[in-house]
Structure 1
Amino acid sequence: MQEKKITIIERATEIIAKKGYHAASIQEIAEASKLSKGAFYLYFKSKDELFAELLRYHIRLITEAIEQVDQRVLDSREKTKLRLAVMMRELIKRGNFIIMQRHDIDTDIGKEMELFFLEEMEKGRRKTELDLLEVYGEESEPYLKDLRILQEGILSQIIADMLLHGLILDLDKTAAYILERMDDMVEGLLKRKAEPLVTETTPVSASIFEKEMKEREAKQILERMQVVILTFDPQEKDVEELQGIVELILEEVQKKDPKKLLIQGLAANLKGIKELDDLRLELASLLEIKVL
């Protein structure tokens, strides 16, 4: 069962990378996996579920390969160089997976998996900064975010040129080259005593990840409200009206630029319903709106 699921995932990755998520059909994926369409559903309930498993599968393999480097007994510089080489090798090996990320997935499961993907990227950013600190020492600490951005920029462009433009490079040599360029940048920054571009105190707007997480948490609170409302006696409370209010709040929360004042006003209609008080306060705190 597991081996067949992996086969389906690999074939699906190739097809989706080539055609896009929406254009790739279950029939086509099943045929490429040497299955009937009916047999496909023995392994995955839907294309959405397949995509979720596909994303986890590739990220897990990339992560495991890098973690194996971390377990080796090497000095920090050699370990960083090897980690860069392994990361590039895994990304190139899974080129179809990387290309697939360029396609917009607008289904609910797609958004859920995008959050998972963004969370993994955030972990990677934190790990890169720690690795840079280990290689270049405490004097590099003010520049860690700058250095991480510069290293990621070099790495992503090299990967893009290899995947999209056919550039062929020796990855071990390339990893050493990237690290040498990082040496040059660290030396230059320290020599000039340059002011860091990005620090812990640099103002930031809410990231895509933070916005999506907040939307998901708000949706969960509102869904819990709906469950509570269903327990009300229709003769004592207007259940339909209360459900309508919660639906309107949910619609606004899911918009690209939700209006806080509108949500605040809608939520005020739930005031005085003790069963919803805690959830109303939780929602207000999450969305940073006043409790009227």
Structure 2
Amino acid sequence: MTDRSVEREGNMQEKKITIIERATEIIAKKGYHAASIQEIAEASKLSKGAFYLYFKSKDELMAEILRYHFGLITEEIEKVDRQDINSREKAKLRLSTMMRELVKRGNFIVMQRHDIDSDIGKEMELFFLEEMEKGRRKTELDLLDVYGEVSKPYLKDLRILQEGILFQIIGDMLLHGLILDLDKTAAYILERMDDMVEGLLKRKAEPLVTDATPVSASIFEKEMKEREVKQVLERMQIVILTLDAEIQEVQELQGVVELIQEELQKKEPRKLLIQGLSANFKGIEEMDDLRRELARLLDIKVL
């Protein structure tokens, strides 16, 4: 790549970041539907036509907004994790860094209050849920690192309590103008966590939430399963094209996959129908593992 190409690519990236930041501000104020590409382009000092050189659609822009802000927040937290300091100081610094990043990206946080689940599409919704799930797991590991094995039965309770305090404070800062010293606030939160751990251990309290607590399938789990099913069906279509079979038979098998896909799009898919349709793949060695995987994901019998 020539120096001129590198410079051009750098300029393109800078402009994309400008569009992302201006779009975040506009969507935070007006909502996803009300924010127009024309308005975003003008705020970014671009024509509407030039906008499409950087993003194919508003949905693609929204996807990049999520990746951009989550990426920067994660990058700052990882810098803290690499520091050679004791677990308690690291926990306090992590809290203050998290708050600082969330406050700095206030428009991004507010933006998520505007119909984000229905507007970014399934893939981006899943990305958002995955990031939140990773954050929850990381918080529990951090709490274990600070309070040791004695805290293990209470990790989920402690995580819920810490997140509740943290996000309520951030909410008051962003929505109600509360002004706080973030380093002092981080120390305060950690001290309150100390109080909670001490109280739980002293009382030998029964944990409210544990790994054994019954739960219905979470949105995250449902989305993950839907994506896995979609991938299995796509692999089926690819394998069908490689089969040594008559064209008519190939078309019929592809039609079966399409019928299963259509049924799964319904509010209440009929499992018995899908079970019957998948029986069409019986006896085709190349399809055997895939039909069994599909049956496992959909909790249906293999006929």
Q: Is the alpha carbon distance of 1:238 and 1:121 closer, same or farther for their aligned partners in structure 2, counting shifts above 3 Å? A: closer
Q: 1:141 aligns with which of 140, 152, 156?
A: 152
Q: Is the alpha carbon distance of 1:252 and 1:158 closer, same or farther for their aligned partners in structure 2, counting shifts above 3 Å? A: farther
Structure 1 segments unaligned to the other structure (5+ residues): none
Q: Is the 8 A contact 2:241 2:250 kept in 1?
A: no
Q: Is the 8 A contact 1:13 1:54 kept in 2?
A: yes
Q: 2:140 aligns with which of 109, 126, 129?
A: 129
Structure 1 position 47, deviation (Å): 1.8
Q: Deviations over 1:164-223 (max 9, x none)?
A: 222222222211111111111111100000111112222222221111111111112212
Match of 1:89 in 2: 100
1:160-199 mapped onto 2 (5 Å cutoff)? 160-199=171-210
Q: Deviations over 1:3-38 (max 9, x none)?
A: 111000001111122222232222111111000111
- Paired residues in the alignment total 289
Structure 1 position 81, deviation (Å): 1.1
Match of 1:23 in 2: 34
Query: Within 1, Cα distance between the matches of 2:271 and 2:92?
Result: 48
Q: 1:54 aligns with which of 52, 65, 72?
A: 65
Structure 1 position 105, deviation (Å): 4.3
Q: Secondary structure at the match of 1:168?
A: coil
Query: Within 2, Cα distance between the matches of 1:88 and 1:58?
Result: 14
Q: Is the alpha carbon distance of 1:222 and 1:33 closer, same or farther for their aligned partners in structure 2, counting shifts above 3 Å? A: same
Does residue 111 of structure 2 align to residue 80 of structure 1? no
Identity of aligned residues (%): 83
Structure 1 position 264, deviation (Å): 1.6
Does residue 279 of structure 2 align to residue 279 of structure 1? no
TM-score, normalising length: structure 1: 0.91
TM-score, normalising length: structure 2: 0.88
Q: Secondary structure at the match of 1:106?
A: helix
Structure 1 position 224, deviation (Å): 2.6
Q: Deviations over 1:237-282 (max 9, x none)?
A: 272x543432232133344554433322332244344443332122
Q: Is the 8 A contact 1:140 1:186 kept in 2?
A: yes
Q: 2:221 aligns with which of 201, 210, 213?
A: 210
Query: Within 2, Cα distance between the matches of 1:50 and 1:76?
Result: 38
Q: Is the 8 A contact 1:218 1:253 kept in 2?
A: no
Structure 2 segments unaligned to the other structure (5+ residues): 1-11
Q: Is the 8 A contact 1:31 1:37 kept in 2?
A: yes
One-letter amino acid of the counterpart of residue 262, structure 2: E
One-letter amino acid of the counterpart of residue 282, structure 1: E
One-letter amino acid of the counterpart of residue 118, structure 2: D
Structure 1 position 159, deviation (Å): 1.4
Query: Within 2, Cα distance between the matches of 1:128 and 1:7?
Result: 32
CA-based RMSD: 2.0
Q: Is the 8 A contact 2:80 2:90 kept in 1?
A: yes
Q: Is the 8 A contact 1:284 1:291 kept in 2?
A: yes
Q: Secondary structure at the match of 2:116?
A: coil
Match of 1:43 in 2: 54
Structure 1 position 150, deviation (Å): 0.8
Q: Is the 8 A contact 1:118 1:209 kept in 2?
A: yes
